[in-house]
Structure 1
Amino acid sequence: MKKIDCILLVDDSPSTNFYNKKIIEKANIKADIFEAFNGLEALDFLKKQNKFKGQDIVKPNIIFLDINMPKMDGFEFLEEYSKLPKENRCDVIVVFLTTSTWTKDKIKAIENDLIYGFIEKPLTNKELEKIIVHYNQLEN
């Protein structure tokens, strides 16, 4: 079983991030959990820039990404994320975790090769388990 070292929660709602963190902790996943409140902060995290500069952080293995956020939404984040060097992206699962029920958002997400899944909030233990199983099936 592959070790999950880091999970990045990208959502503009502190209460949603808090809830998701508790679900992950209750699942006994011993990973560092970081928060970004929009796509720009998530990119800063991955590039270790701005408020994340100089911090001892590892590349996330799983990114839970909201769609509707200020400054840079989930789809805009994915567009910029896809431009990052491959070493910043490989072995990372990106999962949309959103309240969006728009069919066009689901279709757009499914068509994007960078997205593993599209989950409607809130995160559940069952959905988290599926993601962990999928992560463990990825090739090194």
Structure 2
Amino acid sequence: MMRLTFIVIDDSELDRFILRRVIEHLSDGYEVITYRTAWEALVDIERIERETFTMIFLDLKMPVMDGFQFIEEFGKLPEHIKDRHRIVILSTTRNPTDIARLMDSDLVDSIVEKPITKEKFNSLLGALNTTAL
């Protein structure tokens, strides 16, 4: 089985807690790292070289640095870092402009409506396992 790390970036403590529980419940000892701010996550992603493949669950609407700003800054990182990460947007947005903007980004793998469920999580894992990493 592929070794994975999960990063959850969300200013909502409840949403971070729920996603951590879903991952821990369904996983085979995956590492789950949570961040309240996108800026903290970005700094750590750039600084810490992980040996695992990392799926980033990113909230869009956050203070200081929102999800769109995170994606823009993440895109400036070196290729060897970007290649080891996939971004999944977790959001309640139904704004067609936001969705189109996200779908146009090569850095965003998918958009999942909150709250995350076991079924949604398993679907994401299945899609990840079928892509060439």
- TM beyond 0.5: yes
Q: CA deviation at 1:60?
A: 5.4
1:88 matched to 2:81: yes
Alignment RMSD: 1.8
Q: Deviations over 1:69-94 (max 9, x none)?
A: 01100010000001100111113210
Give the equivalent residue in structure 2 for 1:7.
6
CA contact under 8 A between 2:3 and 2:52: conserved in structure 1?
no
Give the equivalent residue in structure 2 for 1:127.
120
4+ long deviations beyond 2 Å: 55-60, 137-140
CA contact under 8 A between 2:7 and 2:34: conserved in structure 1?
yes
1:61 matched to 2:54: yes
Whole-angstrom distance in 2 between the partners of 1:106 and 1:68:
13
1:108 matched to 2:107: no
Count of residue pairs brought into register by the alignment: 133
Q: 2:16 corresponds to which letter in structure 1?
A: N
Q: Which one of the candidate residues 118, 122, 139 is aligned to 2:111?
A: 118
- Alignment TM-score, normalising by the size of structure 1: 0.86
Give the equivalent residue in structure 2 for 1:99.
92
CA contact under 8 A between 1:59 and 1:88: conserved in structure 2?
no
SS of equivalent to 2:29: coil
- Specify whether residues 56 and 91 from structure 1 end up closer, same or farther in structure 2 by C-alpha distance, changes over 3 A only: closer
1:17 matched to 2:10: no
CA contact under 8 A between 1:21 and 1:33: conserved in structure 2?
yes
Give the equivalent residue in structure 2 for 1:45.
44
Unaligned 5+ segments in structure 2 are none
Unaligned 5+ segments in structure 1 are 49-54
Q: CA deviation at 1:102?
A: 1.2
